Amino acid sequence: MCDTTISPFLPIAIIATGKALPAIKLTSTELDARFKKPAGWAQKHSGIEYRHHARADERQSTLAAQALRDALDRGNVNPDSIDLLLSASGVQEQALPCTAALVLGQAGLRPGTPGFDINATCLGFLAALRVAASLLNTSSYRRIAIVASDLASRGIDWDDTESSLIFGDGAAAAIVERGDGARGIEGYRLNTWPEGATYCEIRAGGTRRTPRTGAEPSDFLFHMEGRRVLRLGTVATDDLLAGLFKETGLSFNDMDVVVPHQPSPLGMRYLAERVPDDRIVNIYATHGNQVAASIPTALHEAFVTGRAQPGRRLMLIGTAGGISVGALILKL
């Protein structure tokens, strides 16, 4: 084992990406009607043209498996060659077992393939990619699949106009290998600020609020203090980027492509003020905020549109419930 702290560069190569969207395409025009508002109201307030929502009979793990199959197909990757599945979701499919166990079989991976979940709320894919890189460099795993999925629509509080307009469902996946050593992670930071732990939450679903302990239907819905998230997220991202750019000697100018989480128009303003528009992958208007699925869905978009190219430098960046902020710089 060598001491890798001399060079922070950590080899990893993304060999394929994929995505999946559920059945219902919900336009903002339809939401105007639902909320009895004039035409254009929902689009103006959400910045979204349409988002996809799952039907009641659609399962999160099925959508995740579709995204993973899409990545396998696009990359012509044999499912039997996957050594590990990492699943990332802001909200799991069910309290137990982990969502990875529910995805594995549906995705057609070899029985016995290990799987577990990594949960960093909206930054789960980013954390999982960093973990995968470490595992690929220090284990016998040769090829790891990462899949992120969320059905945010299940937790929408339709009485809360602000948050009900912005969410879309979806799943996306990436297949990664160690690669040839030239491609990899040039920098990574994740910071969690627990003073904001209650700013984004669904209070039920775990051990805290259950029907037995008096959970109300509203406890199963998503609650957000949008302004506080924005304020803390901005300060925390400033701090994180200052450290990351100092450590790596890089700046936004060195990023060919920036793949952000897609929280809301206000939430994306931070980047718009610092990075030229043509370098930002913005899929918000046609996807909405897909929680943990946003970053890998936007990453997939970067690949299929040819913006992510070998040799280019790409940044993943976002804010998550926690409150966590994170960024990862990748040499493709």
Q: Which of residues 192-231 bind its own copies (CB under 8 A)?
A: 192-195, 197, 200-213, 217, 220, 222
Given the residues 45, 52, 261, 300, select the one marked as catalytic. Answer: 261
Select the residue interacting with its own copies from 9, 35, 41, 252 (CB under 8 A): 9
Q: List the catalytic residue out of 52, 122, 200, 282.
A: 122
Q: Please state the separation of Cα 175 from the chain's center in Å.
A: 15
Q: Is 235 in the site for its own copies (CB under 8 A)?
A: no
Sign of CA dihedral 135, 141, 142, 145: negative
Query: Beta strand 84-88 with 143-150: parallel, antiparallel or unpaired?
Result: parallel
Taking each helix axis as running N to C, give the angle between helix 294-304 and helix 124-137, from 0 to 180 degrees, rounded to the nearest 10. 70
Q: Is 25 in the site for its own copies (CB under 8 A)?
A: no
Q: 100 or 280: whose CB is closer to its own copies?
A: 100
Out of 49, 239, 265, 274, the residue judged to bind its own copies by CB under 8 A: 239
Q: Cβ closer to its own copies: 1 or 36?
A: 1
237 binds its own copies (CB under 8 A): no
Rg (CA), the chain: 19
Stretch that binds its own copies, among 43-51, 72-80, 105-113, 160-168 (CB under 8 A): 105-113
265 backbone dihedrals φ, ψ, rounded to 5°: -55, -40
Which of 324, 20, 260 lies closest to 148 in space, CA to CA? Answer: 20
Closest CA to 162 of 287, 48, 25, 22: 48
Spatial contact of 308 and 324, defined as CB atoms under 8 Å apart: no
Ranges within 288-327 binding its own copies (CB under 8 A): 320-324, 326
- 251 interacts with its own copies by CB under 8 A: no
Question: Residue type at 188?
Answer: Y
Q: Which of residues 127-186 bind its own copies (CB under 8 A)?
A: 127, 130-131, 133-135, 137-140, 150-151, 154-155, 181
Give yes or no for residue 124 binding its own copies (CB under 8 A).
yes
Q: Which residues are catalytic?
A: 122, 261, 289
